[in-house]
Structure 1
Amino acid sequence: MDSLVYMLLLGVLAIIALSVFFSFVPVMLWISALASGVYVGIFTLVAMRLRRVVPSRIVNPLIKATKAGITLSINQLESHFLAGGNVDRVVNALIAAHRANIELPFERAAAIDLAGRDVLQAVQMSVNPRVIETPTVSAVAKDGIEVKVIARVTVRANIDRLVGGAGEETIIARVGEGIVTTVGSSGSHKEVLENPDKISRTVLDKGLDAGTAFEILSIDIADVDVGKNIGAHLQTEQAEADKRIAQAKAEERRAMAVAQEQEMNARVVEMRAKVVEAESQLPLAMAEALREGKMGVMDYMNLKNIDADTQMRASLGKAADPNKNEKE
């Protein structure tokens, strides 16, 4: 009885030990690798476990690459995995590049993947070029007419410049700049409408793909529309601005004239006050002259006659010109 219990206990312990062994040591993965012609040591798989590397994420891509005729080492794949890269995506990109006869070393593919770009998509775009459509670009020709252009840019990924190369936004911005320059240098908007391919040729000759991760294959004009008469609008605004300036200057001159008139009126009032003051002192001066004998009675009478004659002439003048009183 005791021996039976002892054997059962040994069996349970053996089963537990085998379970722990097979869960820690990927024996089935090792067998699959051997069956696929890829030799991976069992201790290498155990070391991966100790380094917290999932063995299947290394061995399965290695089997896939070997079957595709690409020679890779397990150390390359494991180091890329430990660096935070996507091993399966890099291997798929290498296989796609190998099938398309595109030279793509593992180091470059790993660098592209670690740079945050989709290396598989880049290889696919290199094989099958992509079309990028620009937003509506507004430009003004020399005759002042606005032209709205939409272009389609066919690009192919340049694998050698994927690391550090500019993206699609730079391509769109440069194409838009080229469109504005070409339309702006045209003498009339009719030239652009008659020859839209002029825009394509001019923009394509500028080498806009320099420093980018793409190679521009063609630039095609999808749509050309006529917009507003910007020149006339600007001239209208300029005329309105000139009008406001002229009105402001006229108002300034009017204000200066009013100020001068008020100043002259003040001077006239001041002079009249001085005349009245002088006239008020005249009788006193005449009386003083009579007392001191500087003026005789006959002189005074002659002065009165002259004053009376002056008043008579003034009254006759008013009678001859009745409108003079109204004007005064």
Structure 2
Amino acid sequence: MDIGIGFAIGIIVACLVLLWILFYFVPVGLWFSALVSGVRVSLIQLILMRWRRVPPRIIVQALIEGTKAGLTLYRNDLEAHLLAGGNVPKVVHALVSAQKANIPLDFRMATAIDLAGRDVYEAVQMSVIPKVINTPPVTAVAKDGIQLIAKARVTVRANIKQLVGGAGEETVLARVGEGIVSSIGSSDSHKQVLENPDSISKVVLNKGLDAGTAFEILSIDIADIDIGRNIGAVLQIDQANADKNIAQAKAEERRAMAVATEQEMRAKAQEMRAKVIEAEAQVPLAMAEALRNGNLGVMDYYQLKNVQADTSMRDSIANRGGDTPSSIG
């Protein structure tokens, strides 16, 4: 009796396992859901999807969603996109949203955008609801030397045709920043920019900054403008300091040259004094030579000495005469 019960339990368990395997490889429930939804897919195709390692539920749900939305989708195309690493549900969501919004988007373009790494469903949503991008603070200087710091809000809409190979948000922000700098830099005065900030938006929009990008710029609004430093005054001060340093360097150079010239002249004066002393030293030698040769007599020598003594006395009297008035006073 116990053996019979155990055998029956074993048979029941084996049947349950077989049923689980059968329903795993033959998703009857999924096939029935597709059938009542108007999607024609056979059980054999669902089994083959299992063998190809393609989740049948993803493909069937995508076909059901597309069929209910009035789209014509093919099972082989969905499987190929899934095997290529694509996101089938997002592609189908994007196609349905694009159809409802009257946006021209076919299956081939949607899969190409998805495989390129962009969120195709978000791109379709951005085409319907534009996105606002806030630029970082952009610093520019007007012609009068006053620095201005501007912030802008860029309203963009996804360009479906340029999503593959088009530049992203970083390029748009860089171009807008460049346009703001160019517009402010061409203004004669910072007051003009503060009075008419919309002039910046007009100039930037006219440049066609969205060319080659994945977005279409709808508007550029200047959110805030702040006054920064007086760059012109700072540059003038720096230039004045540089000129002062150059002038001081040149003056120091001239002073050094003057000191060198003075030292040189002193050296020349000492040299000339040495030559005079040397010349005066030659006089006694010449007189001695003249006495020896008989060209100068003894009386002539004494007469010369008397003349020298008389001259020395006159110089002494003249010096004392010049000092007397000052001493009397």
Give TM-score, length-normalised by structure 2: 0.90
* DSSP 3-state at the match of 1:155: strand
| Counterpart in the other structure of 2:16 | 15
Which amino acid in 2 is paired with 1:245? Answer: I
| Counterpart in the other structure of 2:326 | none
Is 1:235 aligned with 2:236?
Answer: yes
| Counterpart in the other structure of 1:106 | 107
1:200-249 deviation line (CA, Å, top 9, x unaligned): 11111000111111101111111122222211111111111100011011
Which amino acid in 1 is paired with 2:37? Answer: S
Alignment gaps of 5+ in structure 1: 323-328
CA-CA distance at 1:11 after TM superposition: 4.9
Go from structure 1 to structure 2 and tell me whether the alpha carbon gap of 1:275 and 1:210 turns closer, same or farther (over 3 Å shift).
same
Show the 5 A alignment for 1:28-107: 28-107=29-108
| Counterpart in the other structure of 1:325 | none
| Counterpart in the other structure of 1:250 | 251
2: CA distance between counterparts of 1:314 and 1:25?
146
2: CA distance between counterparts of 1:107 and 1:17?
41
Number of equivalent positions? 322
CA-CA distance at 1:22 after TM superposition: 1.6
| Counterpart in the other structure of 1:275 | 276
Which amino acid in 2 is paired with 1:27? Answer: V
CA-CA distance at 1:169 after TM superposition: 1.3
Which amino acid in 2 is paired with 1:255? Answer: A
Go from structure 1 to structure 2 and tell me whether the alpha carbon gap of 1:303 and 1:181 turns closer, same or farther (over 3 Å shift).
farther
Go from structure 1 to structure 2 and tell me whether the alpha carbon gap of 1:18 and 1:264 turns closer, same or farther (over 3 Å shift).
same
Q: Which range moved further: 108-117 or 50-59? A: 50-59
1: CA distance between counterparts of 2:122 and 2:320?
111
2: CA distance between counterparts of 1:58 and 1:292?
143
1: CA distance between counterparts of 2:310 and 2:132?
109
* DSSP 3-state at the match of 2:147: strand
Q: CA RMSD in A?
A: 2.3
Q: Which range moved further: 102-111 or 271-280? A: 271-280
| Counterpart in the other structure of 1:326 | none
1: CA distance between counterparts of 2:314 and 2:38?
143
Which amino acid in 2 is paired with 1:257? Answer: A
Go from structure 1 to structure 2 and tell me whether the alpha carbon gap of 1:261 and 1:313 turns closer, same or farther (over 3 Å shift).
farther
* DSSP 3-state at the match of 1:132: strand
Is 1:168 aligned with 2:169?
Answer: yes
Is 1:210 aligned with 2:182?
Answer: no
CA-CA distance at 1:3 after TM superposition: 8.8
| Counterpart in the other structure of 1:136 | 137
The alignment-based identity, stated in percent, is 65
Go from structure 1 to structure 2 and tell me whether the alpha carbon gap of 1:169 and 1:309 turns closer, same or farther (over 3 Å shift).
farther
CA-CA distance at 1:93 after TM superposition: 0.8
- After superposing on structure 2, the runs of 4+ consecutive aligned residues of structure 1 that deviate more than 6 Å are 1-8
